[in-house]
Every structure is written in structure tokens, then in C-alpha cells.
Chains A and B, each alone.
Chain A
Amino acid sequence: MTTPASLDRIPPRPAALPQPDVRVAILPGDRPTVAAEDRVEPGQPILERLRHPQVAEHGVQGHAAPGPGATFADGAAVAGSGRHALRFEGAGEILGALPGGRVRAVVSRHHSLVESPVAGTVSAVGACALSIRADGVGIPAMFVIGEPSAGPLVFAVESPAAELHAQGIDVRHAGAILVAGSRTDVESLTRARAMGVRGVIAGGMVGTDMVALRASLERQEASVHASPPFALAVLDGYGKRPVPRDVWEALSQAAGRTVGLAVTPPLVLLPPDAAPADADRSRIRVAAGPLLGRTGRVLDLVGLRRMSAGVYQECARVALDPVAPPGAQEIVDVPLADLERHG
């Protein structure tokens, strides 16, 4: 018989994080446009990022050299004044002083803006990252690739197990973050970016497509014109994986409102009132195997069972929720390790 204590043996789904800390990497040459304790809103610029940065060196000609980490604007005097002042061609950041009275800097004439993916308060501006304490909740994702982004949440599929294909994306989705169901592919993501979509949330993704997307994002980075930020959030792993039911419901609560995607840590950022509801602790989701994505209720922990390939695993007896059209209730033994507890 199950007791609240015995249910602890089932791995919990990573809990939603209230007011999570979101970090945005500060790259060489980045200039923060906000300071600690500042309020930020989704889409507000928080960093000026150099595009196509170059390394430049300059003699300080007897002037006091600025310290490493000092940032400067295009054409501004870095040391000294007047005609003999030290100036770099472009804006940038001093990397350090070199032997022989030279300074080395990373510079560029072009920059883009990095936007906040969330409403919150800047908690720290450090050497490597800028941290924002978000106002809402963060749903942990398996990973998020791309840049932090924000936009209104739009459902592009009708059920957690559906797949998003390229023809399902059009100009109406410009600026939005799309919920893509159990899987999407690199063609759909390419089209989404071309249409100005800011992000896609999917349950799973084929690894090869993921690698292709990453390469595509890097090529985009190297192109002449800056493009709007785009991120892909994968909630549950590789391959086709339905969006977990509790996350689907939380996303439904946030539909039409502005949500964000954070890369570090990988989070889907929702408004405070869209947090997944506390579920009955006996409610579970099957997270692996042929029943992947099915939900149900644990009836009992049944101890070790001999599974296929001679493997012994601790199992739970689970009453699965009927699938449409309603049929007879299925009761199955599932390894604890393949389950995910909601509560």
C-alpha cells in the first residue's frame, strides 16, 4: 500500500522555481546598460554587445593606461586628451596592458542589444554574467539553446503529443514564443526564425536537428545584419517527447501573455500566477519506455520485478488515465525510475 513516505521513492519532476535567478553571459566587449537593483522588463536592452569584435593594440604614449575591463565608446579618448589622446576605432573593452607600453582591447564599430527575457530586478553585474531576479516562476527545461528572449505565448499545436511542422508557422507568429508540442524539426525552426518568431518550446527534439540549429545560429551570428533573439527550449529530452501535462497546463494559463526563455539556467519563465498547480502526490507521468507521456496514479509500490533483458527493477503499480476515446482503465507495473512524480 502506498504511503506519502513511500511515494518519495519516485523521482520528482524538477519543481517550478519561484523568482529564479537568470544569468546572461557578459562577453568580452559587452557593455551593461543596467546596474544592480535596476528594474527591467521583458525585451528591455540590458547589454550592448559588440558584433564582429576584433582585437586591437595601441601604444599609450606615456599616458596612464586604463585598467582591464574598462569599456569605452566609439571615438572616445581612452587615455590622455586632445589630439594625442589614445582612441580605438570603435567601441569596446580594454583586455589588458602589454609589455612595451601598449594596451590591448576588443573593439568593433557595430553592436547589437541583448534584451532581458523577463521582468525582474538586476541582482548583480559581475565579470562573467549579469543576473536578474525574475518576478515570475521558472519551469526547468532540459536545455535552452540560442539567446535569451521574450514574447507573447502562442500555442501552435493542439495537444502535448502533437508535432509542429513548418507549414504551421506564419507571419502571425512574428514576435511570439510558440508551443510546439512533442517535437519540431530544423526546417520549422528555420521558418520560425525567418518569420520573426522569438522562441519555440518543445517536449523533445532530434539531436541531429539540434546540432544543425546550433550551427545555423552561429552562422546567423556571423552575418552582417543582427537578427532578433531566438531560443529553443526543450523540456524533456531527445526524440519525440510529449510536453509534460502539468507544464502544458501551466503554459495554457500563460497563453497570450509575455513569457521568456532563459539559457542559463535553462528555464521557461512564466508570470507568477501561471505556476503549475500542486498536484496529488500520487499523480505520476511515465517518462520513458513504451508508455512515455501517459499519466496516472500510483496504486502501490510492488518491489522488485524482473523486466525485459533480465533486469530487476523496483516497480510501482499504476492506474493509467484513460486515453481518448475513453476505454477501460489500464493497470500496469512500471519501474520507479521511468516515472516522474508531479507533487
Chain B
Amino acid sequence: MILGASPCFTLDIGSASISAALVAPVGGRLRLLGSEAAPAAVGVEPLLRGLAERVGAADPSLLAGHGAWQEWPRVESRTGPAPRVALAGASEHALEPLVDAFTRDGWRVSATVTGERSRALETALVMRDPELDLLVVGAPEGTAREALAELVAAVAPVAARRPELAVIVSGAAQVLLPGVDPDRILHGHGPADTVAVAGDALSSRRAGREAFVRSIASLAAVLDLRVEGVDVGLEAGTRVMAGPDGILRRLALADGALVPPAALEDQRLLDAIARWSTLAEDAYVIRDRLRNLRVAPWRDAAGDGARLRLAAARAALERLEEAWQDEGRERVGALQRLSDRHGHVPEVAPDLLVASGGAFAVPPGPVVALALVDTLRRPGAMALALDHARVLGPLGMLPDEDERRRVIADLLDDILLPLGSAIVAPGLRSARRGSVTVTAGGATTSLPLAPATVQVVDLPPGLSATAEIDSPDDLYVGARARRVAFDVTGGLGGLLVDTRDIPLRLPDRAERRRAYIDAWQRPLWTNAEP
């Protein structure tokens, strides 16, 4: 047992920032005593010293008798740049399943290469990329022998000269890589198995993101609810849906990062992020500010910097949602008819959506709630929470599942900052009106239900309520209904009642788009100026 008898630090060490939390036994259970975050360049020790001193100054009795802070145990998770893989195959077409599988597992596919003479120079260049971590040679059953031989001739010589490069042969075809030590070569059958083998081979590079997934599964088991977790950091985004019985779906995406590295060169990607910005600055200025957010993400976090960071977080969530939807469409396959008119698979809202990661560390909680609702759009009601101390990642590193569940159960009220609840109910036609009635502790609040808008009902943290919707049209809340009631809980953002479309459609004209986004988020950013 790592956590229990003495104070313990949890550390989420990311590429941009480090978040530390101090957990200690108080009154027979574990409590979160404090947390701090700092740019990664500051390092771990100054952060822990400051945290221990601050907690000690606030209540010396909490830490008395536990020795020096340097001796307290630490549970840490690390996340860094997504590992890079080159996929080699007889043809681009044959590589598509591998590209999909690796992309959705958080790898950065740096290149796909073939053995064709016309691409031999490109292949030779890719193979010499010093940042390459893994080479996968795709050889499914039925690959033409000659094509395979050309492919091997293209990749084996450099693989042989780079002993640090991990190599996997994927598929049933017999592949010999001359000059490459056979003990170095791993084997995978089919894309999913190959990704699993690759994950094991570079497990240390992926441990932090795996830990977050494990923690969300443990949280779902502890709460006996469907819990969705989303983590957006500087290098990747992770999304997981878990139920009481385990993980239901998961996705890791290198392009789900706050500002992906490709954005430094790709103006279209920057402009896609800027679509969510409310800043009325020249496009080239916003692009450079976004590039600076990529290269020095801890800087310029207040004022317009906070708004730009939120725009980048929304765009990252949007990319995660797109990949999630793509995968969902493939999953339903023959049941495609279930998708709505926009092609979206009707997945209903989870009971609880938990956001984590450096992307959400700076903006005020209520606007984080709106960003989640704007992008991860699910019909129905859900509670929203923020892993404000970034504790879930480190807790996922605890090797024992029982201990993890016990710790999460103890810390639940401390580590999940309630952002509020959201009801997403599209379907109300223009010029029609309904009503929302919220009853909490005997008090009732009623407001008109307007189409294509998001309304905020003040519902403080700790308060539970019932929200009844009465609509003249069929609303889509997981099922079609005109009258429906939900149990909701309060939070920093209160209750968001959202009748906008799924997915959210933004105007093409920049001024109108800014006006819409500003109107939606202004009530939640009220009194934000000092």
C-alpha cells in the first residue's frame, strides 16, 4: 500500500507543466491537502517544497510527526511527446488499417512507406529520421511476394544500422529482415494486436495516458456510473468512456493536443483553432499567439491569453470528438441508419464527464463547462467535473486496483471540482417556446426554453435538483420526448440548458461567429475582470 499511513505527493509531469498534490490521512481517511502547478522548467523539487511549506503553514498539525517532506512517498505519472511510428507496407491501401489503429492509440504516424522504386528516396529519408521510435512492417496474408521483397530491401538495411529502433512485423506473411537481429523483431497479428505489441514495447512512453484511462475506469466502478474522461495536454488528447464493469471505449490522439506540433507550419490547422477565438485581432497575430502557445504554453495565461487558450482547448476537443465519431460510425457498421441527419451516432450523454489536463488548468471553471458542452455534444443530461489537481493520472499508476478504488473513494469530494450539469436537448423549432423548471430544496425556478441557445440556471456546488423540460416540439435527449425530467447537480457553472444543434454549427463569417461564441460564454465569464 503506497497511500495511507503518511502524507504522499501525487505528481502529474507533463511536457508543459507539472502539477503536484499533497494527500494525507486526516480523521481516518485520505484528504487532498493542497495542490500546485508550475511550468515544467521549474522542476519537481521547488514545487513540492512550496506545497509542503504552504500546507504546513496553514495547519502545522496536519503534517506533524511525519518527518521531512523529501521523505514522503511520491506517485507520479509522466506524459511526453507521442511516440513516432513509420508504417511500411506493400501499398498505401494495405497500410490504412494500421494507420487508423496507431493514430487512434495516441501514436504519431510520421510516415507511411512502400518499397516502390519511385518512393525509395523518401523511404530512405524516413528511415533516417532520428526521432523515429518504431518501424512496423505490414505484411498481411496475401501480400505479393515480389512487393514484400522490395519492401524488405527498402527498410531492412537502415533498420539493421539502427539498433535503437523497435521493429514489429504485422501480419501473417513470412517476413525476414536481413541483417536485423531476429530477437529484436516483435510480431503482431492484425492491426489491433500490433498496436498492443507496440504499446508494450514502448510502455514507458505511454504510461501516463494509460494511467488516466485506468483511473476513469476505477472512478466509474466506485461511483457505479457511466463516466467519460477527457484529458487534453500539450502533446496529445485522451478520451475514455467507462462503466461500472470496465472500459467501454477509449481513444488517444496525438492531434488531440492543445496545439499540435503540425500547427507551427499548417496555417489551416491554426485557422481551425482560431474559429473558436473571440479575439478581434488580425489573423496573423492570432496565428502567432497560437504558435507561441505551442512553444511556451505556460506563458501569457491571463486576459486574452486565457480566451485564446480556451479556443485551443475547444478545437482540441473538437478534433477528439471527430475521431470519436469516426470510430463510432465504424462500430455501428450495419446500424448506420441509427445515425442522425448529420451522420452522428446517437450516443447518449454519460452520467459524469470529467475533464483533466493542462488545457483546462487556467480558464475559470464555468467556461470550461461550456467548452465541454460546446464540443463533446451528447443528447441528455450529465454532470461535469474537473480534475483540478490533476490527480487522476498519478492515481492510475497505483499498481493495485483495490487500492486505487479505495483512494479514489476517499478523495472523491476533494479531487473532482463540480463544474455543474448540462442538459443537451436539440430539436426545438425556431419561434417556439417551452419551459425549464428547476426544483431544488423546495425552491422552484422557471425559465422559458428558447431554441438554438444555451441558458444558465444558477445552481451552486453541493446542491441537487430536478430539472423538468416542457416543450411544444419533440426534443432529442437520447429519446424523443416533449416532457422530460432529469436529476442534476450544481457546480461552478450551475446548470446549462442547451438547445443548440448536434454538432454545433458556427457561422462562417468571423464577426458573427465571434458574436455567437461571446454571447454564449459571456454569462459564464461575467465578473471575470479584476
Chain A interface residues (CB < 8 Å from chain B) = 5-6, 8-12, 14, 23, 25-28, 53-55, 57, 67-69, 95-99, 104, 106, 127-129, 142-143, 206-208, 211, 214, 237-239, 264, 287-289, 306-311, 313-314, 335-338
Contacts and interface: CB of A to CB of B under 8 A. Distances in A.
Contacts of B302: 289, 307-309, 311, 313, 335
A311 B158 contact: no
19 contacts: A8-B43, A28-B125, A96-B153, A104-B120, A104-B153, A106-B120, A128-B130, A211-B265, A214-B265, A264-B130, A288-B305, A289-B299, A309-B307, A310-B306, A310-B525, A311-B362, A336-B38, A337-B38, A338-B299
Given A99-B153, A206-B284, A338-B301, 6 more contacts: A8-B46, A10-B42, A25-B130, A96-B156, A128-B128, A308-B303
Interface of B: 36, 38-39, 41-43, 45-47, 49-50, 117-118, 120-121, 124-125, 128-130, 146, 149-150, 153-154, 156-158, 160-162, 179, 264-265, 267, 270, 284-285, 287-289, 291-292, 295-296, 298-307, 362-364, 525, 527-530
Given A6-B50, A289-B300, A310 B295 contact: no
A55 B120 contact: yes
Nearest to B284: A208
Contacts of B146: 99
Contacts of B285: 239
A252 to B, nearest CB: 25
B206 to A, nearest CB: 24
Q: Which of A99, A143, A238 has the most CB atoms of chain B within a 10 A radius of its CB? A: A238
Nearest to B41: A11
Contacts of A289: 299-300, 302, 305
A309 B128 contact: no
B145 to A, nearest CB: 8
B277 to A, nearest CB: 13
A142 B264 CA distance: 12
B306 A68 contact: no
A127 B161 contact: yes
Contacts of B304: 309
A11 B362 contact: no
Given A207-B291, A309-B302, A9 B284 contact: no
A314 B125 CA distance: 46
A287 B47 CA distance: 21
Contacts of A98: 149-150, 153
Contacts of B125: 27-28
A326 to B, nearest CB: 28
B374 to A, nearest CB: 18
B364 A311 contact: yes
B152 to A, nearest CB: 8
Nearest to A57: B117
B18 to A, nearest CB: 11
A26 B146 CA distance: 30
Contacts of A26: 128
Nearest to A94: B157
Contact of B124 (A28, A54, A142): A28
A29 to B, nearest CB: 9
B301 A311 contact: yes
B270 to A, nearest CB: 8
B150 to A, nearest CB: 6
Contact of B296 (A54, A97, A264, A287): A287
B121 A53 contact: yes
A335 B120 CA distance: 51
Contact of A287 (B161, B299, B525, B527): B299
B260 to A, nearest CB: 15
A14 to B, nearest CB: 8
Contacts of A264: 130
A23 B129 CA distance: 13
Contact of A206 (B50, B154, B288): B288
A69 B529 contact: no
Contacts of A206: 284, 288
A206 B285 CA distance: 8
Contacts of B128: 25-28, 127-128
Contacts of A12: 41-42
A271 to B, nearest CB: 27
Given A127-B158, A337-B39, A288 B153 contact: no
A58 to B, nearest CB: 12
B419 to A, nearest CB: 14
A9 B307 CA distance: 25
A309 B528 contact: yes
A208 B529 contact: no
A171 B363 CA distance: 51
Contacts of B307: 309
B333 to A, nearest CB: 39
Contacts of B117: 55, 57, 104
Given A309-B307, A313-B302, A142 B295 contact: yes
Contacts of A128: 128-130, 162
A95 B530 contact: no
A287 B295 CA distance: 13
Contacts of A106: 120-121, 124
A264 B49 CA distance: 35
A95 B154 CA distance: 7
A208 B287 contact: yes
Contacts of B527: 310
Nearest to B145: A99
Q: Give 5 closest A-B pairs by Cβ, nearest first.
A: A68-B157, A310-B528, A307-B302, A8-B46, A308-B303
